[in-house]
Amino acid sequence: MSPLTVRSVDYSPLAPVYTTITRLLTGGGVERTQRRLLAHIKPGDRVLDAGCGPGPFNADLARCGAVVTFMDLSPAMVRRAQTRVEAALGPSHAHRFQVGDVFTHAPPQPYDVVIAAFFLNTFSWQDSQRVLAHLCGLVAPGGTLCIADEGRSPRPWVAAMLDLVRPPTLSIYRLFTGQPVHGLYDYDPVLLALGWTIERRERDSRDYLVATAWRRVA
C-alpha cells in the first residue's frame, strides 16, 4: 500500500443503527466519554471532528461556540451529523460538513482542536499510528488533540472479560464494515514519542472507555 493511503473502513451500512448499537453495548458510555472532550473546546476554536459519525455528540459539539469541520468517509454519516446539528442550531451556522478521508485532509490552516472519538481503532495498528501522526500534524501550536477510545480497564477482571467479549463483538462490526478485529490499542507510547503530553485523562464509569486531551510539549 502506498504511504499516501491507509485502509479505511466506511461505516455507511451501520449509519442508521450505529448510535443505538453503541449505546446498548456500552450503556451510554461512548456518549458520556465523547462529552468529556467538550471541556477542552473554547468558543471560537477551529475544531476537526475526524470520523464524526452520526451521534448526538455532533450537536453537543456544534453548540460549543467553536467552528467545527465534521468529516467522515461515509456520506450517510455526514448527512446524519448535519441533520443533528441543524436540528439543534437551525440551518444557519458556521460549521462545515465534509465527506472525505481524514488521512489526506490538508486544511489551509491547522486546527485548535482535533478530535478522534472511537475513530483510530477502526484501522489496523500500523495504519492507526500513521493516521494519528497525520492528525498531530493538523493541530496548531498550543492546540489540543482529543482522543476518546477504549483502553485497558485498571480492574483485572473487567480487562479479562473484555478480552473475551471484544473479538465476537468486533466480528459483528467486521461483517458490515470489513473493520479489522484486533486487541486494544495503546496510543500513549506513540504520542509520547511524538512529543505530546497528557493534559487530562478521564475514565467513564465503564472504565474501559477513556477520554484524553493531549498537548504538544513546547
Ligand X SMILES: C[S@@+](CC[C@H](N)C(=O)[O-])C[C@H]1O[C@@H](n2cnc3c(N)ncnc32)[C@H](O)[C@@H]1O
Secondary structure, 3-state, 134-167:
HHHHCEEEEEEEEEEEECCCCCHHHHHHHHHHHH
**Interface region with ligand X, contact rule CB under 6 A, candidates 35-43, 60-68, 99-107, 163-171:** 99-107
For ligand X, the closer of residues 79 and 93 by Cβ is: 79
Decide whether 119 or 196 has the Cβ nearer to ligand X: 119
71 lies in the binding site for ligand X (CB under 6 A): yes
Q: How far apart are CA 9 and CA 22, in angstroms?
A: 17
Is residue 117 a contact residue for ligand X (CB under 6 A)?
A: yes
What is the Cβ-side half-sphere exposure of residue 120, based on CA atoms within 13 angstroms?
Answer: 30
**Choice from 37, 41, 48, 52 touching ligand X (CB under 6 A):** 52
User: Exactly one of 41, 62, 73, 162 binds ligand X (CB under 6 A); which one?
Assistant: 73
Based on the shown chain and the rule CB under 6 A, indicate whether residue 60 belongs to the binding site for ligand X: no
Q: CA-CA distance, 86 to 78, in Å (whole number)? A: 12
Report phi then psi at 100, rounded to 5. Answer: 180, 170
Q: State the DSSP H helix or E strand holding residue 127, giving kind and residue range, or none if neither.
A: helix 125-137
Considering beta carbons, is residue 74 or 153 the nearer one to ligand X? 74
* Residues at the contact surface with ligand X, assessed by CB under 6 A: 8-11, 30, 34, 51-53, 55, 71-74, 77, 101-103, 117-119, 122
